[in-house]
Amino acid sequence: MPEPSPLKSPGRLDSFGVFGELSVGSARHRVARIDGLVTPGMPYSIRVLLENLLRHEDGERVTREQVEAVLAWGTDGPSGATVDVHPSRVFLHDTNGVPTFADLAAMRDAMHAIGGDPAVVNPRIPAELVVDHSVIADVFGSPDAYERNAALEYERNAERYRFLRWAKSSLRNVHIVPPGKGIMHQVNLEHLARVVVADAGWAYPDLCVGTDSHTTMINGIGVLGWGVGGIEAEAAMLGESLNMPVPPVVGVRLTGALPRTATATDLVLTITEVLRARGVVGKFVEFHGEGVRALSLPDRATIANMSPEFGSTCAYFPVDEETIRYLRFTGRTPEHVALVEAYAKAQRLWHRPDDVADYTETVELNLGAVEPSVAGPHRPQDRVPLSKVGQRFRAEAGDSSPPVPEQPVREHSVPEPAGGLRHGVVGIAAITSCTNTSNPTAMVTAALLARNAARRGLRSRPWVKTTLSPGSRVVTAYLEAAGLTPYLEQLGFHLAGYGCMTCIGASGPLVPQVQEAARDGLTVAAVLSGNRNFAGRINPDVRQNYLASPPLVVAYALAGTVDTDLTSEPLGHAPDGSPVRLADVWPSPEEVARVVETVITPRMFAEAYEDVLVGDVRWENLEQQRADRFRWDPGSDYLRRPTFFDGMSPEPWPVADIEGARVLVMLGDTTTTDHISPAGAIPADSPAGRYLSGRGVARRDFNTYASRRGNHEVMVRGTFANVRLRNQLAPGVEGGCTASFAEGGRLRTVYDAAMAYREAGTPLVVLGGALYGSGSSRDWAAKGPALLGVRAVLAESYERIHRSNLIGMGVLPLQYRPGESARTLGLSGHEVFDIRGLTGLDGSATSVTVSADGKEFDAIVRLDTDREREIYRHGGIMRLVLRTLMP
């Protein structure tokens, strides 16, 4: 495990008199003691924030008033207070790590240009990156799938990986886990997480922020952490604090135990449904009650992972006996485990079920009421009982499933009652994602179900693309040791790679005849054990996506369709013609527990992580630059110097009103970052595809948008280009098109329209509905609009991370007043917009006046803290930080 660098002056003040010592064995650690300040009703997650503030109190950024605001939590103390939190480390993956380090490289260039020392642009706290987002499930269903996919990964991404090796060697405090080691959050859970950090004589809680929204998975082990924008992460790396409001905390009281037929996936889908309906955006969620003891740590991690899906900032499980057991089991040193236990108990961070906090609100959930479920077909919160999936499919398909000719499956076809492919066929069945592959109980259940089905003579349907992409090498180790791998492979679930793959849309092409039929109008479904199923995310040819537990992924691969009721209809038929139902092959909880307890050992974790920072021969043989400043290749199609610092002045310009703006796109509710940010494959006929073709890149070498995040020319052309985007300025058209009023209302791609507006000198705005920017913490969902010329977004509400990212790129988030919307105000998106009152943002203005062709209304300025105002005034966080570092 990489050790962090010494703290940057861990607090010059101790106005509360809390600095002391903690002895653990022969070791003595300095600590900021909170045990005497914690009130009985203070949530555990707030206690971690309290310690962070006390340790960093300096009277300037972290003040006594901030500490007092936290101490007053839950009382009649200060309302709306903000605090400055200092993460102990920043966590990244390759697709956002490459542009993050590219920004740092560009900052070094900018520092050099003004006569400063480039080396001062350097992470001040550990930046840990796991390469897990670039491998694609091109090859599947064969013993060599893993090797062939890995070879393709290096062929496509060697340039990006060489850049990461430059970052590792040239930037201090950068630690990189090479490809093929696992998924970032599972690696974090099983190995990287400290829970309590011992550094430079101090001991303190591990507070981890990450540029992936599912960083919250680490909440399951007692680490407070959440996703932040890539721009925020860069600032944190450079020593900046994260300014945030003191959050409300929703307590979720768990009682009972899960039924025999329910899994942790069923539980988290239930929690997602309940909390998304309850409304927890911008809030901490904390789990407590006797039911917590009934959950294994992997079960807790499964729940915490999907915090972004229910909308909360985090989903925290405090440290307890199960945390300590898991740390020992996964190979943490005895000394470190002893420190975690002693520190948590001494600091009143040790969870006691009878120590109930005074939560902002409490949600009660009986684990015994959880039933087998999936979620879909478009949102994680849309839970469907397993018996109702067929009904949900038919209701959702509706007019989107026009009649098409039956499509015969030409290879190894299993005759169907009416022959051929029908609407609802499962085109993808993927055991994927850290959400569920980190859970041994779920994975062993799936493998035992595969064994039982194979022994009954069942096989996956030939049109189903079946993949296994676990988040850790430990998974394949225990499946092999249990003798279960051959059964998964008999059903086509061969190892395809250690990476996110299908969960992030790197699913590769469908079976050819299924892909052809989908493009002819067949409604194809995907079933995956992931956490996201937004429209267009998993595969552009898949219309409906369902999240499910790993065993249900196997079951749907056998059934071959989602237009069925797995609780009553057969999965298939044995060779003798007898029907085989799900209940016939579902393993007993006792057998699953026996395999988990007898097969999985601490040694498996030790062997999987002993060389976690060392890559295979392909990684180690990559040529790399060794220089303070990166040498950009002008011919590169993967890495280009970002333009965010072009034309930057030493001091920020005064904030000015926005006049004569046009609407670039007008979007509805729950517009996700998947709709905004480029993701998935790059279509040949898209602006990005035409750009690459014009540079001589062959279609087969386009790769994905994720792999080209270091090239702003590709990414800006893919912004608002999602094939499922519904833009109200282009009614009846699905995809990245809009009306270009600079060209008489002509229908154009969003990119081409933005370029026409740029040539005319017209600023742009985006109109959105509720929960604008929900989904992943994609910085390009803010970078892309900023480069297109978007100056402001006007929406009914925002997801926290995306709003922060917009501010970080100098884009102003505005919000309609309660009860108002584009509809109630009669906005069509065809108006010319003036936004006045922005000059007051240099002061304390909280609203602006918007004029739109005679319609005038006030809008709320969603710059919620003084720090956010300062960031916006500078034109974004990167410019602010660079100005701070200037000599």
- Lowest-confidence pick of 107-121, 301-315, 741-755: 107-121
Q: What is the pLDDT of residue 231?
A: 82
Q: What is the pLDDT of residue 95?
A: 86
Residue 23 has pLDDT above 60, yes or no: yes
Q: How far is it, in rounded angstroms, from Cα 703 to Cα 335?
A: 45
Mean pLDDT of the region 263-281:
96
Q: Are 319 and 541 in contact (CB under 8 A)?
A: no
Going by the DSSP 8-state scheme, the letter that residue 875 receives in this structure is T
Q: What is the pLDDT of residue 183?
A: 97
Q: How far is it, in rounded angstroms, from Cα 670 to Cα 738?
A: 19
Residue 417: pLDDT band by 50, 70, 90 thresholds? very low
Q: What is the pLDDT of residue 804?
A: 87
Phi, psi of 515 (to 5 degrees): -60, -45
Mean pLDDT of the region 246-268:
95
Q: How far is it, in rounded angstroms, from Cα 349 to Cα 732?
A: 55
What does the H/E/C string look like for 193-235? CCCEEEECCEEEECEEEECCHHHHHHHHHCCEEEECCHHHHHH
Residue 680 has pLDDT above 80, yes or no: no
Give the H or E element holding residue 776. none
Q: How far is it, in rounded angstroms, from Cα 111 to Cα 107?
A: 6
* Paired tokens of 866: 């003084």
Per-position b or e across 414-433, b if 16+ CB within 10 A of its CB: eeeeeebbbbbbbbbbbbbb
- Specify burial of residue 578 (Cβ count, 10 A radius: 0-12, 13-18, 19+): exposed
Q: What is the pLDDT of residue 599?
A: 97
Residue 40: pLDDT band by 50, 70, 90 thresholds? confident
- Specify burial of residue 44 (Cβ count, 10 A radius: 0-12, 13-18, 19+): buried
Q: Are 449 and 587 in contact (CB under 8 A)?
A: yes
Mean pLDDT of the region 48-57:
97
Residue 625: pLDDT band by 50, 70, 90 thresholds? confident
Phi, psi of 517 (to 5 degrees): -65, -40
- What pLDDT, in 10s, does the model give residues 522-560? 999 999 999 999 888 899 899 999 999 999 999 999 999
* CA-closest candidate to residue 473, choices 187, 759, 787: 187
Domains, the chain: 19-85 (no CATH), 384-466+473-493+502-587 (3.30.499.10), 658-677+719-885 (3.20.19.10)
β-strand partners of 568: none
Q: Are 378 and 544 in contact (CB under 8 A)?
A: yes
Residue 843: pLDDT band by 50, 70, 90 thresholds? low
Residue 518 has pLDDT above 90, yes or no: yes
Cα dihedral angle (150, 151, 155, 159), rounded to 10 degrees? 50
Going by the DSSP 8-state scheme, the letter that residue 356 receives in this structure is -
| Alpha carbon separation from 523 to 404, 409, 511 (Å, rounded) | 9, 16, 14
Residue 420 has pLDDT above 80, yes or no: no
Mean pLDDT of the region 22-48:
95
Mean pLDDT of the region 80-99:
92
Q: Are 153 and 135 in contact (CB under 8 A)?
A: yes
Give the H or E element holding residue 608. helix 602-609
Question: What is the number of helices (H) and of strands (E) in the chain?
Answer: 30, 32
Q: How far is it, in rounded angstroms, from Cα 103 to Cα 607?
A: 35
Q: What is the pLDDT of residue 415?
A: 33
Q: Directed axis angle between helix 602-609 and helix 321-329, to 10°?
A: 60
Please name the amino acid found at residue 381.
Q
Q: Are 719 and 784 in contact (CB under 8 A)?
A: yes
Residue 679 has pLDDT above 50, yes or no: yes
- What pLDDT, in 10s, does the model give residues 720-770? 998 889 999 999 998 999 999 999 999 999 999 999 999 999 999 999 999
- Lowest-confidence pick of 675-684, 716-725, 805-814: 675-684
- Alpha-helix residue ranges (DSSP H) falling in 14-144: 44-56, 64-71, 94-113
Instruction: Cite the beta strand spans of 327-424 per DSSP E.
Output: 361-366, 373-375, 383-385
Q: What is the pLDDT of residue 787?
A: 95
Place of tokens 């929406």: 795
- Residue 139 falls in which region: left (phi positive, over 0), alpha (psi -120 to 50) or beta: beta
* CA-closest candidate to residue 436, choices 577, 269, 261: 269
Give how far the C-alpha of residue 467 lies from the chain's centroid of Cα atoms, to the nearest Å.
Answer: 21
DSSP code string of 674-713: HHHS--SB--TTSHHHHHHHHTT--GGG--BTGGGTT-HH
Residue 418: pLDDT band by 50, 70, 90 thresholds? very low
Q: What is the mean pLDDT of the chain?
A: 92
* Paired tokens of 885: 């570092």
Q: How far is it, in rounded angstroms, from Cα 786 to Cα 716?
A: 9
Mean pLDDT of the region 691-719:
92
* CA-closest candidate to residue 459, choices 484, 492, 432: 492
DSSP code string of 141-195: SSTTHHHHHHHHHHHHHHHHHHHHHHHHHHSTTEEEE-TTSB-HHHHIIIII--S
378 compared with 7, residue with greater pLDDT: 378
- What pLDDT, in 10s, does the model give residues 495-511? 999 999 999 889 999 99
- Lowest-confidence pick of 173-177, 353-357, 774-778, 829-833: 774-778
Q: What is the pLDDT of residue 11?
A: 55
Residue 865: pLDDT band by 50, 70, 90 thresholds? confident
Going by the DSSP 8-state scheme, the letter that residue 851 receives in this structure is E
Q: Are 129 and 95 in contact (CB under 8 A)?
A: no
- Specify burial of residue 17 (Cβ count, 10 A radius: 0-12, 13-18, 19+): exposed
Percent of the chain with pLDDT over 70: 95
* Paired tokens of 876: 């974004």
- Specify burial of residue 836 (Cβ count, 10 A radius: 0-12, 13-18, 19+): middle
Strand 202-205 relative to strand 207-210, pairing: unpaired
Mean pLDDT of the region 88-117:
91
Mean pLDDT of the region 360-380:
96
Cα dihedral angle (134, 137, 139, 145), rounded to 10 degrees? 70
Q: What is the pLDDT of residue 76?
A: 61
Phi, psi of 839 (to 5 degrees): -60, -25
Sheet with strand 19-24: strands edge to edge: 19-24, 27-32, 202-205, 196-199
Q: How far is it, in rounded angstroms, from Cα 251 to Cα 588?
A: 32
DSSP code string of 452-518: HHHHTT----TT-EEEEE-SBHHHHHHHHHTT-HHHHHHTT--B--SS-GGGGT---PPPHHHHHHH
Q: Are 238 and 124 in contact (CB under 8 A)?
A: yes
Mean pLDDT of the region 304-326:
96
